Every structure is written in structure tokens, then in C-alpha cells.
Structure 1
Amino acid sequence: MGEPVAVGLVGAGPWAERVHAPVFAAGPQTRLAAVWARRPDAAQRLAERYDAVACTEYDDLLDRCEAVVFAVAPEAQPALAERAAQAGKAVLLEKPVADNLDAARRLADAIGEAGVGSIVTLSARFAPQVRVFLDKVAEDSAGSAWAGARLTCVTGAFLGGPFAASPWRQARGALLDVGPHAFDLVSAALGDVVDLRADGAGAGWTSLQLVHTGGAVSQLVLCCTAEAGHRYDVELYGSAGSTRLDLSEAIDESAFAVLREEFAGLVRSGGDHPLDVRRGVYLQELIAQAEHQLAART
């Protein structure tokens, strides 16, 4: 094994503290070299915990790392990630990749022009159980196509806990936060989305019906303001029968170990990843369609 990839972490909030900092500090494929955040005191505390350098200037972080991991709000990510790409750094992006479609497309263009690698943190897709599930779905569909799917994500994440005070989550709701995961999973299972209908009740609850290439139909229910009855699962139906996966159990520490390994491999070997910024733009397009429909109904 060669030298671990020197990673710079942008952000020092709950996700950076709970996930990205410990994951990329753990190695062996990576080491946490530097931390920068808009709150220098938070960056200092997080960096000290992992023997990393707390940077007061973003350019200083770029000088100290080979790749940049982002844990910032969607409105802040595009400009920072563009600068990282222009500096020749591979980027690990948060979902959604931006707070609007135009910014997402500009970011994808900048990363493409820079020729650096990118991955979007669609955490479920790195979970071994999810990969086995999707592989089995693909094998079964070769002989008998799946007719539809249902994905339910009902949590109380916006009512309390580390992400409840997030302004963008409170303003834009579950669609912007967990929507990328939901769109990604059902389109990975059933094919690209060719038609979409969205209904909802404010930012608290969203229901979507999607038509996929080949004619399969999926239904998504997204809510992060439920006081009880929490669930996060996906189920497919068709002539092959039905198959279900509890995503709340499938996504664990092993998913982030796979993410770390694949991001380090991308940095060292170059090339593309199927979950790169272009995938992020595709998901942003679906979010934009859904938000447009919801706004038209208010």
C-alpha cells in the first residue's frame, strides 16, 4: 500500500464531526491533513481531535491536501468545490451538489474542465447490503422485469437532533435533503426517470410518482418531521415477486469504509466514478422538476 491520500475537510458541523472527520482520519487509505470551516473555533476543535491542521484560510487547506471532502450547506458547496477543482484536487461532494440546478451544472462544468475526479456522498450506494440488493435486482430483471417500487423515508430528523437547526433543511424540506438518496436508489433499480409527479404538504411531506425507462413506476414518500412511525426502506414488485431492504439497517460504518477506499482509489488512479458530479446534476434535475410542480400547486 502506498502513502495515504492527504485529505482536506471543508466544514466542521455535525456531519463533518460525526462522519467525514473520523472516516477519513481512520485510514489506511487516507489521512486527515487539514480542516477549514467558516467558524475557525469549530475547525480548530475538530482538527485537534485528529492531529490535523486547522486552517484559517481556504487556500491554505488546498495547499496542504491532495483531495477535498465537503461537509457544507448546498448553497456554499459549488463555489468552494470549483476552487478545489481548479487547484487540481479531487472532490468528495455532499448531496445535493448545489442549492439550484444552474449552480450544479456550473460545478459539473468546472470539474470537467479541471479534469479531476469527483464522487457524491450518496451513502446508501456504498453500503455492501445495498450493492448486493441492487445486483440481485439487476439479475432478476434480466428474465422478468420489475413493474414498480416503493421507497419510504419517514423520520423525525427535522424535529430534533444535530440536523434540526439546519436552515436549508428547514426551508426546503425532505425533498432537498433525502430526495437525492431516494431518486438515486429507485433509478439505479428501475432505470432513468422519464416522467415525474410531485405532491406535498409544505416542506414537511412530499409524495412522488415516477415513471422509469421501460415503463416501471415507483412511489416515494419523504418526510423528516414525523414524531413516530419512523422507517426508511425500499421494496420492488414484479413478476419476480417482491424484494425489500431496510435501508436504516443497511447503511452502517461499512458504507463509509467503502466510500473512503473508492475515493482514495479515484485520487490515486484517476478516471471516473459512476456516482460523480454528473450523477449529482441528474438528481438535481429531478429535484428541480419536483420543486417546480410543488410551487405551482401552492
Structure 2
Amino acid sequence: MATPQMTPETPAAPLRVGLFGTGPWAARVHGPALAAHPEVELTGVWGRRPEAAGALAKELSTRAYADKELSTRAYADADALIADVDVAAFALPPDVQAEIAARAARAGRHLLLDKPVATKTRTARALADAAAGVASVVFFTLRFSAASAPWLAEQAAVDDWFTASAQWLGSIHAPDAKSPYAASPWRREKGALWDVGPHALSLLLPALGDVTSVTAAARGPLDTVHLLLGHASGASSVATLSLTAPEQAGGVTVELRGASGVATLPEVWGDGPLDAYARAVDALLTAARTGVPHACDVRFGLRVTEILAEAEALLG
């Protein structure tokens, strides 16, 4: 059953959402935010581990989110969940996400994706092609944060940036770190380039323009990488990315310099990922109902994958 094309005149009826994924990010952010959102109905949960899907569905059905009564059930088959919803939301490893999301898009389902959309360019391009007829939003956390999104919009309106630097230093894989995300196999395999690199690019590209050249890519300690990028505006940027920084050295900074002066990213997390994800849901609903693509749609996600794949090739 294909989802009907939404138009500006379409009544804003709640959309049925299926959550694909059962890990810590799904349990702590995606699931609670979807369950609490007043304009969606969280229909079901699917995961690669049926027992985890059952546990998460039960939790989301029995806990109260904004006084909203829920009945969310576990699905044993991903395609069965696709058939029962209007929107497919993902909290899966990127290349698992891409394959299932492409199936959902071909079935007419709108897509709420996580970053990166895929770690292979051909896979990301196939997903973007499949999603050409549906609305899509990729959840780059700080693009939807109440603290950082207005700041970024202001910087994107400035046309004389000369250079920029971005440091995204996480500690989830640092020695002795105890993060709930440390057990993620794909993060351990792909490292900071693919986990936090998308975040850095999601802030640099709106301000400086598309990346026209990955001039250099070099490895630092453990999984740390350094990127030197050229941008369409003529500006250059440097990005340092890590998931293995000492906890005392961790943090996120972005600094832009140009004729207008120096602009520094404000307190990045603001009201936290739950509220940021709720804004991503809002953005997807608007795109679905108006037919106007969001700036962080799957095509933007594809471009981020292309840039990171080029950097990965330079790293060897």
C-alpha cells in the first residue's frame, strides 16, 4: 500500500511510524522522541534481535511520554512493518539502514534516517535514487539543536568566510571509557571518520559551501583523523575527528574566520538530543506535507558519504 503524495492542502493527520533498530540510541532517543511526538503514532519496532525488539516495544507501550497512551508492538519481519506505516525511522548501522530504507522508499514510505546514510558511495547513491519520490530527513544532531541551528543559519548567510576549523573529539572508545555506545561494532570498525565526521561536515558545508576538494587526510593517535578541505566559496577548513580522545580532552568546537570576524559555535547540545530529534520529526512531517525537500535530506546525506569516502581513500 503506497503512501499517498502529500500536498499543502492535505490535513495534518498523524503519520504512522515504524522504528527500525533497538540499540542504545534507539532506546534513549529515537523511541522516546517518536512516542512523545503529538503528530505521529509509533506503530511498531523491528530489530535484528527479536528479543530486543520485543523489550523495546513493551517499554515504549507501557511508559508514559507526554501523557500519550501508546500501543507499540514488535515486528518479526522488517517488510511487514514497512507495509503498516507511513514513515520508516532508522537507528541501525549505516549499511544495514541503507538497504532497508531503500526498500521502504520504493514502497512509498517517507524516511527519517540517521547519519551516515551509508559508508559506501554506491550504496548511498542507490538509497538516494530510491528515495526520489518520498520525503527524507537525515538526523545530523546539531542541525536540529535549538542552540546550534539558529547560529548556523546566521553563519550560512555570511559570504566572506576565509577559513574554518572543526574539532569533534569523542571518548567512547578511549581506554577505560564506559559509554553505552562503545559496543557498537560498526563504530569500532569505521571509527571517528564515519561516526563524527558527518556531524562536522553538516556544520561546515552550510557555512562554507560544498567541498570541492579533500586536499589531505592524515591519521593521528588511535582512530583520530585530520582532514583539510577546500570549499566552493573559496574558503578552506580543517577538521579533527576522534572517538578515542581522553575524556578530559573531549568536546566539540567549530570556529569560522573571515572579514566579518570570528564566529564560534555556541553550547552545542542545548536542550539535548531528544528535543533535537523531535525537531527532525517536525522537519520530516513538513517535507512530507508540503513536498518541499529539507536541506538535510537523503541527497545531502549522499554528499556527506561521498566526501568521507574520498577522505577514506586518501587515508589508505
The alignment's TM-score, normalised by the length of structure 1, stands at 0.92
Task: Determine the structure 2 residue equivalent to 1:134.
Answer: 152
Cα distance in 2 between the residues matched to 1:40 and 1:207: 39
- Check the 8 A contact 1:14/1:163 in 2, yes or no: yes
The superposition leaves residues 164-197 of structure 1 with CA deviations (integer Å, 9 ceiling, x where unpaired) of: 1111111111001111111121111111111111
Where structure 2 has 5 or more consecutive residues not aligned to the other structure, the ranges are 1-10, 62-71
284, 294, 305: which is aligned to 1:284?
305
2:137 paired with 1:147: no
Please name the residue that 1:205 is paired with.
224
Query: C-alpha displacement at 1:64, in angstroms?
Result: 2.0
Change in 2 beyond 3 A, CA 1:88/1:261: same
Give CA deviations for 1:172-227 in whole Å, capped at 9, x if unaligned: 11001111111121111111111111111376100111111232111111011012
2:241 to 199, 222, 234: 222
Deviation at 1:59, TM superposition (A): 2.0
Q: Is the 8 A contact 1:7 1:31 kept in 2?
A: yes
CA contact (8 A) 2:112 2:281 kept: no
Could you tell me which of 2, 11, 17 is aligned with 1:7? 17
Find the partner of 1:187 among 201, 205, 209. Answer: 205
Deviation at 1:123, TM superposition (A): 1.4
TM-score, scaled relative to structure 2: 0.87
CA 1:247–1:180 in structure 2 vs 1: closer, same or farther (change >3 Å)? farther
Equivalent AA in structure 2 for residue 281 of structure 1: L
C-alpha distance 233-247 of structure 1, shift in aligned 2 (>3 A)? farther
Counterparts of 1:21-100 in structure 2 under 5 Å?
Answer: 21-51=31-61, 52-100=72-120
| Rounded Cα–Cα distance in structure 2 between residues aligned with 1:171 and 1:202 | 16
Q: Distance in 1 between matches of 2:122 and 2:267?
A: 31
Letter of the aligned partner of 1:85 in structure 2? A
Number of aligned residues: 290
CA RMSD between the two structures: 1.6
Q: Which moved more, 1:251-260 or 1:282-291?
A: 251-260
Q: For the residues of structure 1 that align with 2:287 and 2:156, how far apart are their CA atoms?
A: 25
1:54-79 deviation digits (Å, cap 9, x = unpaired): 11111221122111001100121121
Change (3 A) 1:138 1:74: closer
Percent of paired sites with the same residue? 39
- Which is further off, 117-126 or 7-16? 117-126
